[in-house]
Amino acid sequence: MKRSFFLLTLLTLLVVSCKKKSMHPSLTEKQIDLGTHKLMSYSSSSGSKYLIVFESGLGNDASIWTEENIRMPLSSISDVMMYDRAGYGKSQEGPSPRNIDRLSDELAAVIAAIAGERKVIIVSHSLGGMIARSYAIKNPSKIAALLFLDPSHESANHWTQAEEDSLYDATKKTYGAGPGLLQEVRALREDLDYMSTLPNLPDVPVTVITSMQASAGVSGIDKQLWYNAHESLKNGITVFEHLSTIKSGHFIMLDDPSLVTENVKQLLSKLP
């Protein structure tokens, strides 16, 4: 895939990330102390069998998972949890490097503090898809199911150091020195190399939704390569579904939230 496709996706993401969004007034806030820093989580606690966990993409805190369109439609069937990664929202800045290996370990700490013995269904977007994959591979016994929304993937995204430097400088100039965002941008090349070393996902129900909506400067060939990268997540998976949509762009949970909630419900229906 042309590097320009992922660059355009990231630039769109950063524009969306700086919009102000409402938080989750009906959820309980809890700080998770990791020793080096504290992360803020937002969760419900009805005692459901599974916990639905939301993992945001680059540049986004927990508020990207809107109360009225994402959490409320799911609240009657399961507990939910979202959190701000280090340097975002109400969470403290964390130590460098902010790479996927570290971020997935921090996700594990948050899940352990909120889920208890329950298994989790992780709903992840963009860069969050790599965090979810790393967590699932490290913690297979904790995973009930996975839903990926237009996830970043190492076979589709390729970076040179000069391109990472350029994005870092442009991000800092345009959006300021937000610690979480800048530290994660600085780790992008390392992240893609790391993901290429990981084995297949654990064999649990997996659904992937790929945006195939037309985008300026992105060819149909590039879009197909993006789809093919997502299709590769089926390796080793018995129950796998891959959907595409032209109704929404990269931010599927904002453009078509019902598609997200219905597929979470579908995954729940497949679990014991």
Give tens-digit pLDDT for 152-188.
999 987 778 888 888 888 888 877 767 788 899 899 9
CATH of the domain at 227: 3.40.50.1820
**Segments forming the whole domain that contains residue 230:** 3-17+23-269
For residue 22, what pLDDT is reported? 46
Contacts of 53 (CB under 8 A, 6+ apart): 80, 81, 82, 107, 111, 115, 120, 121, 122, 123
Are the CB atoms for 54 and 61 separated by under 8 Å?
A: no
For residue 15, what pLDDT is reported? 45
Lowest mean pLDDT among 15-19, 120-124, 242-246: 15-19
Determine how β-strand 240-245 pairs with β-strand 206-211: parallel
For residue 194, what pLDDT is reported? 97
| Total domain count, the chain | 1
Q: Which residues pair with 121 in a beta bridge?
A: 52, 145
For residue 76, what pLDDT is reported? 84
For residue 241, what pLDDT is reported? 98
For residue 213, what pLDDT is reported? 93
User: Is the bond preceding residue 97 a cis peptide, omega within 30 degrees?
Assistant: yes
The pTM of this model reads: 0.92
DSSP 8-class letter at 207:
E
